[in-house]
Structure 1
Amino acid sequence: TPLSPMDSSSPSQEGLITDLRIMTLEKQLNIELKVKQGAENMIQSLTSGHRDKKLLQEAQQMLDDSRAKIEFLRMRIMKVRQARQQQHARGDAPLSNGETTTGK
């Protein structure tokens, strides 16, 4: 396939793959932020309402898991962006518009 990482891809294909990876991670991050918000809302509702301890514990665990996933996704996005910037600095990777930094 044209976007397979195992193929010997051109610099412009590598740039597109990197951009797709960042977009996918950002989409996952947005979903996880919504999960976190839902868990926070559930905790708020449970603490002000009937106080089901088991449900409250599950919501708190969901919130903790979501926070960990958010932190992981933010780190992955940062690492992918840093790797792209390092490739650009070396001149062996395309800019996001597909042009190379060497002007080729």
Structure 2
Amino acid sequence: MAAARLVDSDGVRVALVRRFDRVRDLVTGAERRLFFVSPATLMTIAPRESGEHAETEIADVIRQRSADSAADLEELWRLSPAFDVNPRRDRAR
């Protein structure tokens, strides 16, 4: 799970969550972005047609297309909880 904390910003509680797609270069100290592809992009699904897809479907596509499927599958399971809490305005609360 990503590191997170709550802070006060002008009287409003705000959640700060460490980004999963950034790393610090050990040589230069510069922050760099990691390559990231959404499951919908990987599965060539149009955003409006995405519907519901199980992690097992995503895992199948990773096994077919990834150069390092073992590492990518581990990352999929590690990141899955973060996507479960990502708000979607089109869903009823």
Scaled by the length of structure 1, the TM-score of the pair is 0.27
More strand by share: 2
When the two structures are superposed, what TM-score results if normalisation uses the length of structure 2? 0.29
Greater RCO structure (CA 8 Å; 6+ sep) = 1
Q: Rg larger in 1 or in 2?
A: 1
